[in-house]
Amino acid sequence: MQKTAKELSQEDTFTLLSPTFFLVLLFFLLPVLIILLMSFTNVSTDTGFDQWRWVGLSNYVKILNHPATGQHLWITLKYVAVTLLLFNVGLGLAIALLTTSIGGKTGTAFRALWLLPRITPSVIYVLMWKYLGADAPYGLINSFLAPLGVTPQNWVAAQPFLFIVLVNGFIGASFGMIIFTSAIEAIPRDYLRAAMIDGANYFQRVRHIILPMIKWPLLFVVTFQTLSLLTSFEQIMILNDGAGGMEVWSLWAYHAALNNYYGNFQWGFGGALAMVLVVIGVGFCWVYLKFFKFSELVSQPKIDAL
Amino acid sequence: MPFRVILLIVLSVPIIVGYLWMFISTFSIRTHGLMPVDSNGNFGGLTLANWAFLKDPVLWQALLNTFVLAAALTFFTVLISSMAGYALSRIQFPYRRQLLSLTLVLHAFPSVTLLIAIYFVLKGLSSSPILGPWIGYNTMGGVILVSVAMQLPLGIWLMKGFFDGLSWDVERSALLDGCTRLGVFWRIALPMAGPGVAALSIFSFITGWGSFLIPYTFMMDQGSATLATYLMQSMTDTAPAAYGTLAAIGLFQTIPILGFFIFTQKHLMNIYTGGSKGAG
Amino acid sequence: MRNRIIIAAFLLFSGSTVYRILTGDASWAVTTRGGDPSQVTLKIWAGNAAPIDHWRTDSAVDAARTLNRQLEEEGSGVRVTIDAINDPASWGNYKKKFLMAADSHLAPDIICTGHEDIASWASAGLIVPLADTVAEMRAKDPAFADVREDLWESTMFRGKIWGVPQDSEARVLFYSKPLLAKMGWTPARMKTLERGIQDGSFTTDDMIALAEKAVASGVVPRGRGYWHRPTRGSDHIQKYYAFGGRIDDPETGRLVADQQSLTRWFTFQRRIVDAGITPENYLGTEWGIWHNTVSHGKALFWEGGIWNWSSWGSKYAADLGGEAYLHKSVGYAMPPAGSKGGTPATLVHPLVYLVPKAKASGQMQQKLALRLLALMTTPEINTRHALDSSHLAILKSQLDYAPYKENTFLYGISKLGGKSFFQPNHVRFSQWFDIVMGAMEEAQSGRRSPSQAAADAIALMRIDVGEDNLVFR
């Protein structure tokens, strides 16, 4: 019997999506469920995986009562907001605009340069920043500042927030840079040519043509990178391990659950911390999806309107 | 024009100076600022010793392992993401919007905190029928599966955005000619998505090339160590290598990716044609 | 149709996997690796291991040769081969990996780690106790009788012995001989420094005063009078100890929350900055800078682990003349006491070999593993590790063993005297440690006053360590 086009379409859809379903179920949904369950237990290295017990909401109560909770939350939000706006979106966009307007090999060379922080092993990339900011005679920043009469010091420790933003920002900028660059390159040349004939200067072209046309990539980068920054801690961990009040939430979870100095990992408490982070992340997603009207982006699949 | 170049150079100063320092330090015993110095603080102390690791056979084994992992990760990420991205872009099905939102939300889950939970899943997979010995805990297959899953939020959104921007006239005529959806995806859409594939490949390859925690934690065999593990040898608590050596290993690691990036740069230009939505 | 089959297979597969995860599975059983019972493989892991630490596992290979010879003499058909992994990953990642391996019955037969893991791994039932008392342990094998008496304390938990010491070290006060000479000190007077510290007449106050004088007189620039460890770490606990602080209370077995001692310690950390002998914003200084500065004699005093000696000789001061230069220009003594008449003390953090249970390793080879460990505990084997990686002897006989004795630095440290102490084997020690380190950083940077930082630390201890695990002083 001949199948209808609709039936065929459903089966094809399933085939196309089944690997994704499979991986998402196994490596996102199930683990999150496990972490959620763990967050109601006291499971830790010393209980092992067979002597733990249920402790109800006490891990969450502990977060509420913890003297450091407010500080961790505040530094997390501040770090995400500043890094996102200045670097991941702001600088990423600036580099994309500048390199595309220059174009050619020079543009490519600058983009390759900006990719370096992303592809260098974090340990070495962070080491580079430590030496930029190091005390005299090692540090480069001091050798520029010394002639101005600034007393040399270890700037990484003196300005911890500035450095966690710089270190993460220079990595983050390249994500936006790559996505914006391709979006800009995809704008039909006629539009820009027409604007130039109308006498629009570069800034007017950016303002009135380029920015409106890369709206979706912009919103995507904002959303995606908010989540990336919320869950990122590796660079901060290597730079100063959260010293100077720089322990962001994900680093706190990491320290509690996975990596404290002498190895008694608190999976239960860490799980609760991770769940809070997930809730914050989902909250951001919800706001963005609503506020940016993502529903428009996902509205109508073109080809179904055969 | 020159103004824009100057502005770019100014913005790039930290990177230019930082990597210049890194490059110089790979040939130095120690540096003061950008100057290689001897033990008295005078110019000198140049050495090739920091690059001696190139003679270590373990490095080349690690390089091979890393390449296999990165290549497999890239292949499966691109394949699975583009399948899902294509379906999400082209086909109307129930809960489509929810699924798309879900893939974004997935990115909010900090993969490191999930590590222990993922272990339990892999352990469960180990004892599953037939496939168990290939995809469970302590297998390369399991490591690749987990790594691919972590790339899906980015991959699906990138590929969906890319398919959205592709003209569908060709696909439509193929469908009208009686081609199946799968056939259209495989023979028409995917080849047209070449640049998108290239972009996602870059991101996946970078991730695979630098991956440490997942392969390290979920595989016992030391012969399967990646480059990142190799680097760790030089930075243990009690006997850390001098930073010149670390910098040399680090720079060495970036070279293949830089090459890959420059090679694919031409394709990369067109990755996110989602930007032309409503214009085409 | 094709797709229906895919769907069915997919659902079946996912379903069975999910089922297995949720129910746990009993299909794991203790198995012997390989089919031939006469061929036994012993797996051994060592963590955070640099290439120079390779003896931690490679000595097992040597010892296995002896073991096989003995087995042959006994007429046993069993032969042992060693599967050794010298793992360079950080301690945290190494310990995670072990926990998961142990849960899957894939843990090694012997694992080398810091002694503090005994507390949580024994509680979790992952390792076997080796003996009830030190006497029982000593009676097991002459090799164990040779182990330094004090080291067994670091392997005790809940009244049992759980591990065999692998190495030990000390954290000492180093000083630059040329800089002291510039201040008019003769070599003879430098010797009195060592004695003064030993009898408690030269204290941290005297050290600070001397360093201040060096800065004032221009012998060293400001901030180069005294450099402690530039990052978090056990080294700092020595100062807490020097000012009367204790980590655990032997009577109750609980950890100590001692606001006064913490305040005294934190006051010291800030005082050295205010005095200008340690730089402002010093914590977080990159290790390479630290090594280059101290090993070149550019600071008057510095405190650190003796294991650094080999890196200074082979790397940082290599172009100055390596170890010969170090012997000429670097002096060392115990870290001074905090008050007059006090005893100087150094924190020792031994690595130990532990033997995982059958449930963790999937093997019934614990007896054989212990036998191998005894064969690894010899002066020859341990001295090789000590010399290569600049660690202290763990055996009494090593002090009479020529190759060890000829190493002036290690032998000199072994003979320094003073008191050594360990961090406790307590399940909540990791939390206690992280809290005091964080508070110390706040106090030294001046973001919190010493007494505020101490109060913060106590408040955090109540939550993260738990009041049931604390005694308040």
Q: Where are the domains of chain B?
A: 54-238+268-272
Report angle CA C4, B156, B66 to the nearest 5 degrees: 100
**E strands, chain B, in order:** 31-32, 35-36
The verdict on a CB contact (< 8 Å) between C279 and A135 is: yes
Q: What percent of chain C has a predicted confidence (pLDDT) above 70?
A: 92
Say if residues C236 and C347 touch (Cβ distance below 8 Å): no
Query: What is the pLDDT at residue B7?
Result: 93
- The token duo for B116 is 């222990």
Is-contact A145 A137, C-beta < 8 A?
no
C228-246 pLDDT tens trace: 999 999 999 999 999 999 9
| Closest residue in chain C to residue B225, using alpha carbons only | C87
pLDDT recorded at residue A305: 46
pLDDT band at A12 (very low <50, low <70, confident <90, very high): confident
Report how far residue A160's alpha carbon sits from residue A75's, in angstroms, rounded to the nearest whole number: 11
- pTM for the full model? 0.92
Beta strands in C181-260 (DSSP E): 226-227, 248-249, 254-257
Q: Which of A15, A44, A46 sits opposite C6 (nearest CB)?
A: A15
The CA distance from A264 to the nearest CA of chain C, in Å, is: 6
Ranges of residues in chain B whose predicted pLDDT is under 50: 270-280
Give the residue extent of every domain in chain C.
2-161+351-419, 171-347+424-472
Whole-angstrom CA distances from C329 to C103, C322, C394 are: 51, 11, 28
pLDDT at residue number A298: 60
List the domain boundaries for chain A: 80-293
CATH class of B54-238+268-272: mainly alpha
CA–CA gap between residue C161 and residue C153 (Å, rounded) = 8
C232/A261 Cβ within 8 A: yes
Characterize A259-289 residue by residue with b for buried, 16 or more Cβ atoms within 10 angstroms of its Cβ, and e for exposed: bbbbbbbbbbbbbbbbbbbbebbbebbeebb
Mean pLDDT rounded to a whole number for chain C: 92
DSSP string, A84-110: IIIIIIIIHHHHHHHHHHH-HHHHHHH
The residue with tokens 């010879």 is C69
DSSP lists the bridge partners of residue C347 as: C421
- Cβ pair C95:A45 closer than 8 A: yes
- Token pair for A136: 């005299």
C166-197 core/surface letters (b: 16 or more CB in 10 A; e: else): bbbbbbbbbbbbebbeeeebeeeeeeebbebb
Which homologous superfamily is A80-293 in?
MetI-like (1.10.3720.10)
* Residue C244, both tokens: 């009367």
pLDDT at B16: 95
- Report how far apart, in Å, the C-alpha atoms of B111 and of each of A271, A276, B147, B153 are: 12, 14, 10, 12
Residue type, B122: L
Do C20 and B240 make contact, defined as CB atoms within 8 angstroms?
no
Please report the pLDDT score of residue B171 as a whole number.
83
Beta-bridge partner residues of C256: C471
Torsion, CA C180, CA C182, CA C184, CA C190, rounded to 10 = 20
Interface test with C, best of A1, A150, A261 (most C CBs within 10 A): A261
B neighbour chains, 3+ CB pairs within 8 Å:
A, C
Expressed in angstroms, the distance from the first to the final Cα of chain C is 75
Quote the CA–CA distance of C407 and C402 in Å, as a whole number.
9
**Mean pLDDT throughout C30-49?**
76
CB contact under 8 A, C389 and B238: yes
Cα–Cα distances (Å) from A42 to A39, A62, A257, A266, C180, in that order, read 8, 12, 11, 8, 54
C472: which strand partners? C257
pLDDT given for residue A7 in this prediction: 57
Q: What angle is formed at CA B45 by the lines to CA B44 and CA B50, rounded to 5 degrees?
A: 140
Collect all residues of chain B within an 8 Å Cβ-Cβ radius of residue A220: 157, 161, 274
For residue A36, the tally of other CB atoms under 10 A from its CB is 15
How far apart CA A64 and CA A70 sit, in angstroms, is 9
Residues of chain C by 3-state class (helix, strand, coil), percent to 5: 50, 15, 35
pLDDT at A304 over 80: no
C154 and C378 Cβ atoms separated by less than 8 Å? no
Band of the pLDDT at A168, cuts 50, 70, 90? very high
User: Are the C-beta atoms of residues A31 and A271 closer than 8 Å to each other?
Assistant: no
Q: Which of C101, C307, C315 sits opposite B238 (nearest CB)?
A: C307
Q: What is the mean pLDDT of residues C421-443?
A: 95
Topology of the domain covering C2-161+351-419? D-Maltodextrin-Binding Protein; domain 2 (3.40.190)
Q: Is residue C262 within 8 angstroms of chain A, CB to CB? A: no
- Distance in angstroms (rounded) separating the CA atoms of residues C307 and C318: 16
Mean pLDDT of chain A: 87
**In chain A, % of residues over pLDDT 90:** 50
Calpha distance A233→C69 (Å, rounded): 52
Asked if the model's pLDDT at residue C32 lies above 70, the reply is no
Judged against a pLDDT cut of 80, whether residue A36 lies above it is answered with: yes
Q: Which CATH class is domain C171-347+424-472?
A: alpha beta
Q: At what angle do helices B140-165 and B57-90 cross, to 10 degrees?
A: 40
Mapped onto helix, strand or coil, the DSSP state of residue C161 is strand
Residues of C with CB under 8 A from a CB of B: 13, 16-18, 20-21, 25, 27, 48-53, 85, 87-91, 93, 96-97, 100-101, 103-104, 106, 286-288, 291-292, 296, 305, 307, 310-311, 315-320, 389
Cα C60–Cα C66–Cα C67 angle in degrees, nearest 5: 80
Q: Give the pLDDT mean for C175-183.
A: 96
**pLDDT higher than 50, residue A59:** yes
Q: What is the pLDDT of residue A184?
A: 85
Of A16, A102, A270, the CB nearest to B87: A16
Q: Which residues of B touch C307 (CB under 8 A)?
A: 238-239
B186 touches chain A (CB under 8 A): no
